[in-house]
Amino acid sequence: MTRSGNSTLLTAAEGSSLTWRTMPEGKLRVPSPPVIGRSGNVMRIAIAGASGRLARATAEYVLEKVSPDDVVLVTRNVDALAGFAGNGVTVRYGDYDRPESLPAAFEGADRLFLVSLHELGRRVTQHRNAIDAAVAAGVRHIVYTSYIMADPADPDCPSTVVPDHLRTHELLDASGLEVTYLRMGLFAETPVTQILPPAIARGMLVDNTGHAKGAFVHRDDCAAAAAAVLASAGHEGRTYDVTGPELLGFDDLTALAAKISGRPVGYRSVPDDEFDAQLRAAGVPDDVRGMIVSFGVSLRAGYGEPLTDTVRRLTGRPARPVSDLMERHRDLLAGS
């Protein structure tokens, strides 16, 4: 244990919990009302993968609504969440790849936020580990971040990321737990911070999406919507499509980026095989290349087009347009 001023930091070892309750001098925390479940009991919320961007942002929104005493953050990197522990949140070690670590990490939680992982093929096992541990720990309700293109009623979407989500749906449906599915839209951060800056530098964006459109959504809006579900009752058995407020194609995005950055950039859509060959020549790995190409195929088939007001209905404020995110990253887009 080390002390700094009036704060106390517990250096956490693997498998331990970290709780840091000493408040900064002169600051008083007023506890928020507890989350009350349908049984009338206080609900404790666990957020898995809490050091990830979506889960961490969700935790911040949850803590605006409930007492830190009612929140458990689960992560492979306990020290990364020391700031949360400093505000009275319990932080526990848990690793999807070490299933024996998870039941203790989820212990005492009634509701679990399960953020889908990223490694295709491997993540179904990781999700299964988390679901099995949740059952063993006595969790009653899982809120899972699915994908806008993953619809069990329409399993033929060509996107290579969809099968893992659908298999996770099956595992959750068979678990005996209450489940809420948050089918997250296309994160706007991906084109704004990863795809468009190099395209602007080259003066051209080339892909295979044609003029197909999707409802790109801010990750932060997804986090706010998730927190609203986690911190209130009545969402069991529901599926929410969480999208942005407008349908945009990559041709629209390049035009918008050119306007905001002040730099010209064109757009060209090419056939799938030509795009695949370009990615191969650029050294993109097979699985990633398949994911990118199949995304364009899926977008052209209309799988990115659901447009909802879920963010507004859950949070009380409308989803923000992609242009807001571009304005925030103007310097990145402008190459300065």
Relative to beta strand 141-147, strand 45-47 is unpaired
Kindly list the domain boundaries of the chain, sorted by start residue. Answer: 2-185+219-244+306-319
Please determine, for residue 41, whether its predicted confidence score (pLDDT) is greater than 60. no
- pLDDT of 46 reads 98
- CB 147, CB 184: distance < 8 Å: yes
Superfamily of domain 2-185+219-244+306-319: NAD(P)-binding Rossmann-like Domain (3.40.50.720)
| Residue 7 confidence (pLDDT) above 60 | no
Is the CA virtual torsion 224, 65, 57, 229 positive or negative? negative
Model confidence band, residue 233 (pLDDT cutoffs 50, 70, 90)? very high
Average pLDDT over residues 310-326: 98
Residue 221 in this model has a pLDDT that exceeds 90: yes
Alpha helices in the chain (DSSP H): 53-62, 82-85, 102-106, 123-137, 162-173, 189, 196-202, 219-230, 250-261, 272-281, 286-300, 310-315, 322-328, 330-334
Q: What is residue 42's predicted lDDT score, i.e. its pLDDT?
A: 59
pLDDT for position 15: 35
Tell me what the pLDDT averaged over the chain comes to: 89
Confidence band, pLDDT 50/70/90 cuts, at residue 32: very low
Please compute the mean of the pLDDT values over residues 35-52 and round it to a whole number.
74
User: What's the pLDDT at 17?
Assistant: 37
pLDDT(31) > 80: no
Residue 119's pLDDT is what?
A: 82
Query: For residue range 146-189, what is the model confidence (pLDDT) as tens digits?
Result: 999 999 999 999 999 999 999 999 999 999 999 999 999 999 99
Half-sphere exposure (Cβ direction) of 202: Cα atoms closer than 13 Å: 12
What mean pLDDT is predicted for residues 279-304? 96
pLDDT for position 264: 96
178-220 residue pLDDT tens: 999 999 999 999 999 999 999 999 999 999 999 999 999 999 9
Q: Give percent of the chain with pLDDT exceeding 70.
A: 87
Mean pLDDT of 54-69: 97
Other CB atoms closer than 10 Å to residue 305's CB: what's the count?
A: 14
- Sheet (strand 141-147) strand order: 17-18, 90-93, 71-75, 45-47, 111-115, 141-147, 178-184, 239-242
Does the pLDDT of residue 23 top 50, yes or no? no
Asked if 62 and 230 count as a contact pair (C-beta separation under 8 A), the reply is: yes
The pTM score is 0.87
Helix (H, G, I), strand (E, B) or coil at 31: coil
Sign of the alpha-carbon torsion through 227, 232, 236, 238: negative
Helix axes 162-173, 123-137, angle to 10 degrees: 20
Which neighbouring-strand residues pair with 268? 206
Q: What pLDDT, on a 0 to 100 scale, did the predictor assign at position 118?
A: 84
Higher pLDDT, 121 or 281: 281
- pLDDT number for residue 51: 95
- pLDDT for position 35: 55
Does residue 13 register a pLDDT over 70?
no
Q: Partners of 267 in the beta sheet?
A: 205
What mean pLDDT do residues 251-272 have?
97
Q: Is the pLDDT of residue 276 over 80?
A: yes
Token output for 92: 């526990």
Pick from 85, 102, 84: nearest CA to 93: 102
